[in-house]
Amino acid sequence: MERFFNTAGPIKTDLHYYIDPLKRFDLEEVLLLIRQQKYFVLHAPRQTGKTTCMLALRDYLNERGEYIAVYANVEAGQALRNDVNGVISGVCSSIAQAFDITMNTNLFSKIAYENEQTPSSTRLYKLLMTLSMEVPKPIVLFIDEIDALVGDSLVSVLRQIRSGYTSRPAQFPSSIVLFGVRDVRDYRIVLSNQDIVTGGSAFNIKAKSLHLGNFTKEEIHELYMEHTKATGQQFDEECFPMIWDATGGQPWLVNALGYEVTMEIKENRDRSIKIIPEMIYRAQERIIYRRETHIDILIDKLKEERVRRVIGPILANDTEVDDALFPQDDMQYVIDMGLITRDKPIRIANGIYREIIPRELTWTTQESLVQQSAWYMNPDNSINMEKLMLDFQQFFRQNADAWIEKFDYKESGPQLLLQAFLQRVVNGGGYIDREYGLGRGRTDLLIRKPLTDHYGGPVQRIVLELKIKRNSLEKTIEDGLLQTWEYMDKAGAVDEGHFIIFDRTPGKPWDEKIWHKECEYSNRKIMVWGM
């Protein structure tokens, strides 16, 4: 049976290419914590392989025979929110059923049912105590999706686990491992009476918090070589730097890109066809355009105010905001989602997310624009950037204030508006690569426009440097020409470069803002546009 890249649910080794899940975390450290009867947390963003790793660890422990290791998922309790009785009943049922499955019995579900009359404040505690006394070995209990629970319900679960801690291992699980997107320490739990409890106070028995990371470059290569070994289909080595930049090693994105380029691009099901970089670009574009569930979740998060407080300055390339000034709860929340990395400067975690964010924030704008790509095409199918920029200048003059006011992320409005205009033009016939980040003071765009329909054919490359004027015009142009030249040099084989200055000086006449001129910098011609 041919295997494939997995994009849904835990790994099945007979169906999917995979990296050994026990190698994705420090197994020696985890086993040490379990031997020491510790309660601890393993957290990571969604769709990074937490469940796969947890199930592999459960099976590993059970095969060794020293413990009874059980996996239970409590996500169903999310729908009941602050209905403590309902949530506790559901959690108890999930744990009991997990024991029944692991030990091939129905005893534990009966015990949970018999405990239904126990007050919800002690029902989970009593169940775990009873289970621990019934089974012949120390229990290692994995509780997945713990942070799906909220408010009073979450506090009740954590406190009941804490209550039994001193009775382990004879009368309570020897070790409990909580899995979720966030570290318990970072929970700010709002109770029904509006009091706030921190996760650290509700679960102060936690010995350690472990983080499941992304794939490394080497692991990406190993995973894709699984496909080559199984099918004989080759990947051009130039694909791998692109896959790394596009995904940053995020496991779902790595697998989705592999599945797209080997299965969804139907002609590539012919395994004699070699996968080349242009195919990776095409696969990336299709994933973004289709808005898979993984991407939809990300898009939905952009609407949250605490996400906006972090992402807004990054999109705006704000040079006056330091990451230390961000509320730490907001920062940690966005990091835990996997949306940003805490590099210096802070940046969006990977190339696909960098593409998704400005596209999504300007989606309505793109759909409202009347620009058609054919208006700006030369006879050789290349983009006439001078015509495009002249039209955008006029559009910006007439519409900027009204359009930017509609954006949720107003501080980056000028850059987003130009990107919406460009996206409308290149859609279906080209790609835009974007670089931006806190403190950079600019947005770098690279437009790549294939001039034919054939893979490996000629490609037009255009660099655009976007900058908000914050210093004198002379200083802005001086810095911008250098930065544009550096990006052109980095991008290589660039056909033309454009430096765009957005002047947001209040009250300044548009006739003074709108202008353009050609400059030369280190033997390269660069068009400078004022707006």
Q: Among 461, 357, 344, which Cα is nearest to 415's?
A: 357
- What was the pLDDT predicted at 430? 85
Q: Where are the domains of the chain?
A: 21-211, 217-290, 358-530
CATH class of 217-290: mainly alpha
- What was the pLDDT predicted at 492? 84
Structure tokens at 250: 């995020």
Instruction: Give the DSSP letter of residue 456.
Output: T
CATH number assigned to the domain covering 21-211: 3.40.50.300
Task: Please give the helix or strand (H or E) that residue 98 lies within, else none.
Answer: helix 84-103
Q: Which of 44-48, 66-70, 326-330, 397-401 has the lowest mean pLDDT?
A: 326-330
Encode pLDDT of 412-454 as tens digits: 889 999 998 999 888 768 889 998 877 677 889 999 999 888 7
pLDDT-based confidence at 97, cuts 50/70/90? very high
Q: Residue 101 corresponds to which amino acid? A: I
Reported for 96-105, long-range contacts at CB under 8 A and 24+ positions apart, including other chains, are: 96/127, 96/131, 97/72, 98/70, 98/71, 98/72, 99/70, 99/131, 99/135, 102/62, 102/68, 102/69, 102/70, 102/71, 103/68, 103/135
Q: How far apart are CA 115 and CA 128, in angstroms?
A: 11
Please say whether the beta carbons of 345 and 470 come within 8 A: no
Q: How far apart are CA 63 and CA 46, in angstroms?
A: 28
Q: Among 520, 479, 485, which Cα is nearest to 501's?
A: 479
- Euclidean distance between the first and final Cα of the chain, in Å? 59
- What was the pLDDT predicted at 12? 93
- What was the pLDDT predicted at 204? 62
Please say whether the beta carbons of 184 and 143 come within 8 A: no
Instruction: Give the DSSP letter of residue 263.
Output: I
- What was the pLDDT predicted at 14? 92
pLDDT-based confidence at 320, cuts 50/70/90? low
Instruction: Give the DSSP letter of residue 306.
Output: H
Query: Does 456 have pLDDT greater than 80?
Result: no
Please say whether the beta carbons of 528 and 501 come within 8 A: yes
Q: How far apart are CA 126 and CA 122, in angstroms?
A: 6
- What was the pLDDT predicted at 153? 87
Mean pLDDT of the 28-33 span: 93
Q: How far apart are CA 529 and CA 513, in angstroms?
A: 9
Determine whether 320 is exposed, middle or buried from the number of CB atoms within 10 Å of its CB (0-12, 13-18, 19+).
exposed
Query: Does 365 have pLDDT greater than 90?
Result: no
Query: Does 109 have pLDDT greater than 80?
Result: yes
Q: Give the residue ranges of DSSP H helices in 406-523.
A: 413-426, 473-491, 510-513
- What was the pLDDT predicted at 66? 96
Encode pLDDT of 166-214 as tens digits: 999 999 999 999 988 877 665 655 555 555 455 455 566 666 678 888 9
Determine whether 313 is exposed, middle or buried from the number of CB atoms within 10 Å of its CB (0-12, 13-18, 19+).
buried
Determine whether 236 is exposed, middle or buried from the number of CB atoms within 10 Å of its CB (0-12, 13-18, 19+).
middle
Global confidence as pTM: 0.87
Determine whether 141 is exposed, middle or buried from the number of CB atoms within 10 Å of its CB (0-12, 13-18, 19+).
buried
